[in-house]
Amino acid sequence: MASAQSEPADVPVVAIGSSAGGIVPVGELIAAIGAAPLFAIVVAQHLSASRDSSLVQIFQRSSAMKVKTIDDGEFVQAGVVYVTPPGFDVRYARGQLRLNLPEQRIVPFPSVDTLLESLANDPGRYPAIGIILSGLGRDGERGVRALSRRGGVILVQTLREAQSAGMPEAALRSSCVDLVATAATLGARLPMICKSLLSNGAQVRAAEFNAVCAFAEPLLGIGLDRFDPLVLGQALRRRAALLGADSVMDYAEQVAEHPAESDALLRYILKPAGSFDSQNPERRQMIEALLACYQKYEGAQPFRAWSMGCATGEETYAMVFALEAASKQRDKAPDFLVYGTDLRPDCISLARTGSYSDYEVAHLPKSTMTQCMVPHLRFHTVKRELRRKTLFAVHDALKQNPLQDMQFVACIGVMPILSGHHASVLRARLSLSLVPGGVLFSESDLESC
């Protein structure tokens, strides 16, 4: 197949994944968008490879946008709905859609995970939007986790409306979903959501901030002023767009009417961003500092390390893997225990399972996979003997007493979302958790305390 155009377009992408019972909601979603949106839509609807598809004709009847079958290598354009042809997987790369014959596998195709993971690997200038509609099975679960961690927005059809709830349920288990609504509602809100993605973060006005805080803070039990104003402003405007509110002040009213939205706001600010990517400079330096600290340790008690803001546990387990490998290279090596804490209970629950997808462990060396992980059909689980060397808990280091007697504390990804004052307070509190000579590692510096 030949490319339909020669110049790339800098266009946000909305990826829709669906399977059994998905054709009708895809049509309803597209119909609710209207004409000439700022984004392109790519549909990965599970299809039989042995039959011709009439999806283009079906979707065109309800859409004011152009609907077409994907040509391999074409660059995406705003206002166009691209439909994956039968018998192919589709990937996004640098503005292009690439069709590939699917590898041998049991799961159906086109693979929703493949499309979403390709957007996560190459998100371009703007974060992408992933949508999961009706479908059997778990296709899309890995992809929504990958896309969310790269700043993407995840939308899911309500279980009540979905004819087949398998795919929406699997996406919800990822703890990365930003909005659950009917297909028509998702379509109607897409233009506003996309607009919020394209705009730079803006500081909220004092009146808007105070209105949200009045309703949210008593439910959350924390002050929102701990967060950097730009981070908070972006979160408030993004959540307002997701809920269809015209302004942050209107969003404050929705917070008042729907108490669960306070938790949704906090989850959005604290979106998990963990990974096993050892090539990340901060992760590499942190592991080097951890091992240097461990090599010097000669105590009789287990070496104690703390991963503060551990999200879904990747950083914590990376520390465990490194310490386990180092312990095998020392005679009479001291035992160790690694603590992982986070504000989000749902993230801590995922961390305790120690289960990660193929995509999430892709950066781990083969030796680590063999020594530290147990493979399953679609996931890999940290070995039980290593999980016994971890302790995960929900903990607020700005309010609760810091953990004590730590030889090493890692705090990566937390300081940048805090205000300058609260970042300084947190650093001081974490220092109090260290034994004399212990090490605190954060983005800005490597401190010896």
Give the catalytic positions in this structure.
19, 46, 139
Listed residue (291, 284, 305, 270) closest to 405, CA to CA? 305
- Distance from C-alpha of 134 to C-alpha of 113, rounded to nearest angstrom: 15
3-state SS class at 311 = coil
What number of residues does the chain have?
Answer: 449
Q: Which two tokens stand for residue 245?
A: 């509110």
Which candidate, 443, 440, 429, places its Cα nearest to that of 407?
440
Collect all residues with Cβ–Cβ distance below 8 Å to 59 and sequence separation of at least 6.
26, 27, 30, 43, 67, 81, 83
Give one word for 124, left, alpha or beta, with left for phi > 0 and alpha for psi -120 to 50: left
The DSSP secondary-structure symbol of 84 reads P
**177/147 Cα distance (integer angstroms):** 11
Q: Can you spell out the DSSP letters for 383-395?
A: -HHHHTTEEEEE-
Nearest to 434 by CA among 297, 300, 283, 323: 297
